[in-house]
């Protein structure tokens, strides 16, 4: 799955993968910024709790977004593929200004939503400027290639990670969540080695990457985002490794970014807080010279 095509003079909406375990009770900084990007007091937010098997999940997020001042909030009680044909649910997404995918099991989410009108509608609405956020499983499924499962607490090795098709809101990254808390660096490195074009994003709990339409994301939250850029690999043993064998990955670039840091997914460049804004303020010729 690839991102839907943009219409003329329309900017794609923000994509906000969250590492799970976000603060839902105190500052709710990530949720608050999601509501603001979705229209603030005019926001119409639709929650999709399909990844979770808990009946309370949809209502819990409804309450959070109501408390933060959104004008309209509702959730889609999608529990099977047949639900994705419900015209009322499609109509709700048509008028939504923000869409939120909850945590749970990403394979449950992909096997129910994948290839349906709901999945297509989410991509089209994001291309039309609607903000889409997802936490934990809802973060993993945002990319074209989704980490479906795998081992934590391991070295990068053949077979430690499994992939599946995601929603395709972005084809530039592959996303892992609960990253530091579950020691998932090894599996993200292995996932990035499959195709070094992809940038690996490892999202800690209570931490989000706010990816703008310009391909630059800002880190928001109490943890870090680990960025794995394998495009400069000089050697990878993935293609010849046997099951469980440790990998050699030479020439990797890794950035660890806390709140306020930014990353340019197109230029593959990290910036400390406020530095990217200063870079963008340069005249075009000077900015181009600085990039090289």
Tell which residue, 122, 113, 120, has the closest CA to residue 51: 113
Q: Residue 165 contacts by C-beta under 8 Å, 6 or more apart in sequence?
A: 1, 110, 114, 144, 145, 146
Q: Which residues contact 127 (CB under 8 A, 6 or more apart)?
A: 3, 4, 5, 6, 7, 10, 12, 13
> What span, in angstroms and rounded, lies between the C-alpha atoms of 292 and 282?
14
Backbone phi, psi, residue 203, to 5°: -100, 120
CA dihedral 15, 21, 27, 29 (to 10 degrees): -10
Residues 6+ apart with CB under 8 A from 139: 17, 18, 19, 20, 101, 175, 177, 203
Nearest-angstrom CA–CA distance, 116 and 82: 9
Tell me how far apart the alpha carbons of residues 136 and 139 are, in angstroms, rounded to a whole number: 5
In three-state form (DSSP H/G/I as H, E/B as E, the rest C), the secondary structure along 198-213 is CEEEEECCCEEEEECC
**Given CA atoms 4, 214, 41, 219 in this order, what sign does their dihedral have?**
positive
The residue among 162, 124, 125, 134 whose CA lies nearest residue 146 is 162
Question: Which sequence positions are flagged as catalytic?
Answer: 136, 178, 205
Give the pair of three-digit tokens for residue 218: 């800002």
């Amino acid at each position: 799955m690839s991102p839907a095509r943009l219409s003329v003079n329309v900017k794609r909406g923000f994509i906000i993968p969250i590492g799970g375990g976000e603060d839902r009770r105190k500052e709710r900084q990530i949720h608050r910024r999601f509501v603001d990007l979705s229209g603030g007091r005019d926001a119409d937010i639709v929650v999709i709790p399909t990844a979770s098997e808990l009946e309370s999940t949809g209502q819990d997020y409804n309450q959070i977004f109501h408390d933060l001042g959104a004008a309209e909030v509702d959730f889609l009680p999608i529990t099977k593929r047949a639900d994705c044909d419900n015209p009322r649910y499609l109509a709700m997404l048509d008028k939504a200004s923000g869409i939120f995918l909850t945590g749970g099991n990403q394979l449950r989410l992909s096997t129910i939503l994948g290839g349906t009108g709901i999945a297509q509608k989410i991509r089209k609405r994001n291309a039309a400027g609607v903000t889409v956020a997802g936490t934990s499983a809802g973060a993993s499924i945002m990319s074209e290639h989704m980490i479906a499962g795998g081992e934590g607490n391991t070295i990068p090795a053949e077979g430690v990670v499994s992939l599946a098709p995601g929603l395709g809101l972005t084809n530039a990254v592959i996303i892992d969540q609960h990253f530091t808390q579950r020691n998932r660096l090894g599996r993200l490195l292995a996932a990035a080695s499959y195709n070094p074009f992809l940038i690996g994003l490892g999202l800690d709990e209570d931490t989000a990457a706010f990816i703008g339409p310009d391909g630059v994301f800002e880190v928001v939250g109490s943890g870090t985002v680990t960025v794995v850029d394998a495009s400069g690999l000089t050697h990878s043993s993935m293609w010849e490794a046997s099951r469980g064998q440790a990998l050699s990955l030479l020439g990797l670039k890794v950035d660890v970014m806390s709140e306020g840091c930014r990353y340019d997914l197109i230029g593959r460049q990290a910036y400390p807080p406020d530095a990217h804004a200063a870079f963008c303020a340069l005249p075009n010729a000077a900015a181009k010279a600085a990039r090289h």
